[in-house]
Amino acid sequence: MVKIYTVISCSSCKKAKQWMELHHLEYEEVNLLTDNISRADYLQILSLTDNGTEEIISTRSRAYHRLQLDFEQLSLNELVEIFEKNRTLLRRPLILDNRRLQVGYNEDDIRKFLPREIRQVELTVATDKIKENLDEHLSKVD
């Protein structure tokens, strides 16, 4: 199942949830500020990053500027402890399942959470529309 880590006032979080609902995908919403987030949850997020902390830490957050840490030099335990005490450090939304992580909302990237068969159907429909438009355009040119 897809998990979406959000905060109430985040417009990108709202867009991600609306997109999931529009595509009839089940998801679990976790409020970064109020819900219980386990150590295992933080470790899962970290395990799915491509670039370590760089992609999941909000460098514009007050917590980031207040802490003034070199996050790349911290141990995993230290990092998790800092996240537990400073949840606003995390960018949002964080969207993940067991294999993938998306940071922020991007309509093209979020499609990776669609089941493969749905992605294939949508690709076929889009390809057919392009062919129709091209045929229509070419018939007007002739």
101 and 49 Cβ atoms separated by less than 8 Å: yes
User: Which one from 4, 10, 90, 94 is the annotated catalytic residue?
Assistant: 10
Neighbouring C-beta atoms of residue 60, cutoff 10 Å: 8
Q: Mean pLDDT for the chain?
A: 89
- Is 10 a known active-site residue? yes
Looking at residue 51, what is its pLDDT? Answer: 85
What would the two tokens of residue 90 be?
């995390």
Nearest CA to 13 out of 89, 122, 110, 116 is that of 110
Phi, then psi, of 91 in degrees rounded to 5: -70, 160
- Tens digits of residue pLDDT in 78-126: 999 999 999 999 999 999 999 999 999 998 899 889 876 655 555 565 6
Looking at residue 61, what is its pLDDT? Answer: 94
Looking at residue 132, what is its pLDDT? Answer: 78
Looking at residue 64, what is its pLDDT? Answer: 95
Looking at residue 140, what is its pLDDT? Answer: 79
pLDDT at 133 over 90: no
Looking at residue 15, what is its pLDDT? Answer: 97
| Pairing assessment for the beta strands 27-31 and 101-103 based on DSSP bridges | unpaired
Exposed e or buried b per residue across 103-140, where buried means at least 16 C-beta atoms within 10 angstroms of its C-beta: bbbeeeebeebbeeeeeeeeeeeeeeeeeeeeeeeeee
pLDDT at 24 over 80: yes
